[in-house]
């Protein structure tokens, strides 16, 4: 991980609360209310500067009590700092807890916590442990957006915008369905002060927050196409607060601009503030807190201190989003390069399928896989978590993590994966990496530490990305993250996707310090974050190996992630070179959920139609052609459920239309478009 300049400093003795200044016009006003030094001493918060995962860890959440006290989780030290009038008044230790993720304080001073072991803890106002319980089966800590007040007491907001009272948690929940709700519907929702339940979904470029009962809708129009928007709170007067994260690329690196936006129930935005996310050196779970009286607080972790600000929202903000010019959106030729390095660039759909097969691959575990072929046992502390408590003969899902590993399931184009430094075609088949030794010992399955590499089976982060792309080479079994982030002149690097200013499905992100790499799959329909495909060894990860994972866009900022792609953008995939005539077929329609296919046209007045839809559910959206780039205002949309025809009627003008692939049925999505 990157080396942070850790400043060992005590909390400021006094940071006076500034008088409230209402920002009637102009940009937001930030007033520091608490400041914490970095370290493990009294009143300091700790950052983890060297971890096996890709993201440095540290304080994950904060909250503000009814008396104005600021509660900050020192997640790694398993303690809570409580500050008032700028000074730490006390520190509460949290016994028998894991890495702390979320905090909420009730009016009576009870402290509610969530840790990464999926446990809900409560402490009295004096720090006494009161209760400990597990989240329901089917819900993990990363599914919980926040602990929040409710009329019946503290409640959980989860992805998919489900709300669960802590006093009446069910034994089992199914959150998977909520992440795949059809656009245009609002599920159970989260409750405002008046009891009205709200939810969110994406409609092409825009994100709509709406009442589950119908009627009220707030349309959020982000600046970038990879953006998410997450409802984060209400106040007693009924105003609605939303965190909007815009992802863009600058100089090849991913950037995320986060704004807190306040809306009236009518849908009118009446307040906004851009957070100083360029100061973030960790990726907190919660960065903003909204109190019932409409006070906005934000937590900003910088390299030398962590600061909590009270923010008076303004009416405007100075955006940092960098947009590429139309001239910069040019197609590159990569055919010769692909042939020269020995692997064809396959469709995004096939790469997603390869990655998914690694995530869901079912294989049998045997206790002999804990031993080398020499009979020596595995070193302590190196086994991936899904094998640590497995019994002999138990089936395990997901290829396990292995530093230096390049294993995967077999595909029709032959054996291109490696294990134990030998080619194989199936993970557990008769000639596979594992069973060619069974029942004799070896090879060791999975290693989560860098000091044990030789003679192991499994996959690491870069091996996962290469394997999904179908990479082969006579030079060795795999390439490292160094090659994945290398300049485009390196024959093994992907293209710099920054020139296109467009986060596309199955582009990949690689940390500048070579610690991790993963694919972007799609953004969640509910706006709460993104889905990634990756192999990780992070402590606390559900699987230390191949998996689908939930992340916030803000995660991509920490560690200086580079945005790269195996592919150039073929015509129609982006507004770089959109189609200028109607097309039909599968040759450019990759079938990856979330991908957009663009068209550009002029008309004297017409109806744009999608017909003959097969293989999934595409939706149609139209924006203005502003001299070579799309406008930011959605002019028309059609997003019927399933394979129904889509159409948008337009007056005379110049337009971009894009078809957003909402869902696939396992194959290629096709349609005919006419105008």
Q: Are residues 218 and 158 in the same domain?
A: yes
Q: Which residue has the higher pLDDT, 369 or 406?
A: 369
Q: Return mean pLDDT, the chain.
A: 80
Residue 272 has pLDDT above 90, yes or no: yes
pLDDT at 591: 64
Residue 22 has pLDDT above 70, yes or no: no
Q: Which among 390-394, 482-486, 554-558 has the top mean pLDDT?
A: 390-394
Residue 395 has pLDDT above 60, yes or no: yes
CB-based contact 309:298 (threshold 8 Å): yes
Locate the DSSP E strands across 94-184.
100-105, 111-115, 119-123, 129-134, 144-148, 155-158, 162-165
Residue 65 has pLDDT above 90, yes or no: yes
**Total domain count for the chain?**
3
pTM of the model: 0.84
- Cα gap 595→574, rounded to integer Å: 9
Q: Are residues 408 and 488 in the same domain?
A: yes
pLDDT at 514: 84
Q: Are residues 62 and 133 in the same domain?
A: yes
Q: Are residues 383 and 515 in the same domain?
A: yes
Work out the average pLDDT over 332-356: 61
Question: Picking from 87-91, 211-215, 390-394, 515-519, which range would have the lowest pLDDT averaged per residue?
Answer: 211-215
Q: Which two tokens stand for residue 607?
A: 């109806």
pLDDT at 646: 94
- The per-residue pLDDT for range 157-206, each reduced to its tens digit, is 988 788 999 988 999 988 765 444 444 445 578 888 888 888 887 776 77
Q: Are residues 163 and 103 in the same domain?
A: yes
Identify the helix (H) or strand (E) that includes residue 278: none
pLDDT at 60: 94
pLDDT at 201: 77
Peptide bond into 71 cis (omega under 30): no
pLDDT at 473: 57
Q: Are residues 449 and 521 in the same domain?
A: yes
pLDDT at 290: 95
Q: Which two tokens stand for residue 123?
A: 């402490």
Question: Picking from 80-84, 579-583, 652-656, which range would have the lowest pLDDT averaged per residue?
Answer: 579-583
pLDDT at 387: 92
Q: Are residues 611 and 483 in the same domain?
A: no
Burial 145-184 (b: 16+ CB within 10 A, else e): bbbbbbeeebbbbbbbbbbbebeebeeebebeebbebebe
Residue 123 has pLDDT above 90, yes or no: yes
551 in any annotated domain:
yes
386 in any annotated domain:
yes
pLDDT at 55: 61
CB-based contact 334:567 (threshold 8 Å): yes
Q: Are residues 387 and 308 in the same domain?
A: no
Assign residue 654 the CATH number of its domain: 2.60.120.380
Give, as one character, the DSSP assignment of residue 586. Answer: S
Question: Picking from 364-373, 498-507, 568-577, which range would have the lowest pLDDT averaged per residue?
Answer: 568-577
Boundary (domain end) residue, out of 521, 542, 565: 565
5 in any annotated domain:
no
Q: Which two tokens stand for residue 42?
A: 């009294």
Residue numbers of the domain that contains 384: 335-565
Question: Picking from 83-87, 194-198, 541-545, 665-669, which range would have the lowest pLDDT averaged per residue?
Answer: 665-669
Q: How many CA atoms lie within 13 A of 445 on its CB side?
A: 29
6 in any annotated domain:
no
Q: Which residue has the higher pLDDT, 311 or 256?
A: 311
Question: Picking from 336-340, 408-412, 647-651, which range would have the lowest pLDDT averaged per residue?
Answer: 336-340
Q: Are residues 536 and 611 in the same domain?
A: no
Residue written as token pair 């149609």: 620
Q: Are residues 412 and 486 in the same domain?
A: yes
320 in any annotated domain:
no
Q: Are residues 532 and 605 in the same domain?
A: no
- The per-residue pLDDT for range 428-441, each reduced to its tens digit, is 766 666 777 778 88
Residue 248 has pLDDT above 80, yes or no: yes
Assign residue 67 the CATH number of its domain: 2.120.10.30
pLDDT at 304: 93
- The per-residue pLDDT for range 256-267, each reduced to its tens digit, is 899 999 999 888
Burial 614-650 (b: 16+ CB within 10 A, else e): ebbbbbbbbbbbeeebbeeebbbbbbbeebeebebeb
Residue 552 has pLDDT above 80, yes or no: yes
20 in any annotated domain:
no
- Cα gap 472→464, rounded to integer Å: 13
Read off the pLDDT band of 317 (50, 70, 90). very high
Residue 634 has pLDDT above 90, yes or no: no
Q: Are residues 262 and 172 in the same domain?
A: yes
- The per-residue pLDDT for range 24-40, each reduced to its tens digit, is 469 999 999 999 999 99
Question: Picking from 22-26, 43-47, 200-204, 271-275, which range would have the lowest pLDDT averaged per residue?
Answer: 22-26
2 in any annotated domain:
no
601 in any annotated domain:
yes
């Amino acid at each position: 991980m990157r080396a942070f300049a850790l400043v060992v400093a005590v909390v400021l003795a006094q940071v006076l609360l500034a008088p409230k200044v209402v920002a009637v016009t102009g940009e937001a006003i930030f007033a520091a209310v608490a400041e914490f030094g970095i370290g493990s001493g009294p009143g300091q918060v700790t950052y983890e500067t060297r971890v096996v995962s890709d993201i440095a860890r540290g304080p994950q959440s904060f909250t503000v009590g009814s008396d104005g006290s600021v509660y900050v989780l020192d997640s790694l030290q398993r303690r809570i700092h409580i500050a008032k009038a700028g000074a730490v008044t006390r520190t509460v230790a949290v016994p028998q807890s894991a890495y702390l993720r979320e905090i909420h304080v009730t009016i009576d001073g009870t402290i509610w916590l969530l840790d990464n072991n999926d446990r809900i803890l409560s402490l009295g106002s004096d720090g006494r442990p009161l209760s400990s319980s597990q989240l329901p089966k089917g819900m993990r800590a990363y599914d919980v957006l926040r602990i929040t007040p409710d009329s019946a007491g503290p409640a959980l907001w989860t992805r998919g915008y489900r709300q669960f009272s802590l006093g009446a948690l069910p034994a089992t929940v199914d959150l998977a369905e909520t992440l795949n709700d059809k656009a245009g519907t609002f599920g159970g929702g989260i409750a405002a002060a008046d009891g009205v339940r709200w939810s969110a979904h994406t409609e092409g470029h825009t994100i709509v927050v709406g009442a589950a009962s119908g009627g009220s809708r707030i349309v959020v129009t982000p600046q970038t196409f990879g953006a998410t928007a997450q409802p984060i709170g209400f106040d007693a007067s009924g105003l609605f607060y939303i965190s909007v994260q815009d992802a863009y690329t600058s100089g090849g690196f991913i950037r995320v601009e986060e704004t807190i936006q306040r809306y009236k129930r009518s849908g009118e935005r009446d307040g906004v503030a851009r957070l100083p996310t360029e100061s973030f050196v960790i990726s907190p779970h919660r960065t903003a807190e909204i109190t019932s009286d409409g006070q906005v607080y934000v937590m900003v972790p910088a390299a030398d201190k962590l600061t909590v600000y009270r923010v008076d929202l303004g009416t405007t903000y100075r955006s940092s989003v960098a947009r590429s010019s139309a001239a910069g959106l040019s197609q590159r030729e990569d055919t010769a390069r692909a042939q020269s390095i020995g692997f064809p660039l396959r469709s995004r759909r096939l790469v997603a399928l390869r990655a998914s097969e690694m995530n869901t691959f079912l294989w049998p575990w045997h206790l002999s896989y804990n031993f080398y072929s020499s009979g020596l046992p595995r070193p302590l502390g190196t086994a991936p978590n899904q094998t640590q408590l497995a019994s002999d003969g138990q089936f395990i899902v997901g290829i396990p993590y292995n530093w230096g590993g390049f294993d995967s399931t077999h595909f029709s184009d032959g054996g291109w994966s490696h294990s134990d430094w030998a080619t194989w075609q199936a993970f557990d088949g008769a000639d596979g990496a594992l069973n060619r030794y069974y029942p004799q010992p070896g090879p060791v399955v999975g290693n989560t530490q860098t000091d044990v590499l030789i003679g192991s089976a499994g996959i690491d982060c870069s091996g996962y990305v290469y394997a999904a792309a179908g990479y082969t080479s006579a030079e060795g079994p795999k390439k490292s993250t160094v090659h994945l982030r290398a300049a485009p002149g390196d024959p093994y690097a992907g293209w710099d996707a920054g020139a296109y200013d467009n986060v596309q499905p199955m582009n990949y992100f690689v940390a500048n310090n070579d610690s991790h790499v993963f694919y972007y799959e799609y953004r969640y329909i509910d706006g709460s974050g993104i889905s990634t495909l990756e192999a990780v060894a992070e402590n606390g990860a559900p699987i230390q190996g191949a998996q689908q994972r939930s992340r916030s866009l803000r995660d991509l900022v920490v560690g200086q992630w580079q945005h790269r792609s195996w592919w150039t953008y073929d015509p129609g995939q982006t507004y770089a070179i959109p189609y200028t005539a109607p097309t039909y077929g599968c040759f450019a329609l990759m079938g990856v959920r979330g991908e957009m296919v663009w068209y550009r046209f002029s008309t004297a007045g017409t109806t744009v139609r999608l017909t003959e839809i097969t293989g999934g559910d595409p939706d149609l959206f139209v924006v203005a052609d502003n001299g070579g780039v799309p406008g930011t205002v959605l002019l028309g949309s059609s997003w019927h459920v399933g394979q129904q025809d889509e159409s948008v009627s337009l007056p005379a003008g110049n337009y971009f239309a894009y078809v957003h692939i909402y869902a696939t049925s396992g194959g290629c999505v096709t349609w005919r478009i006419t105008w």
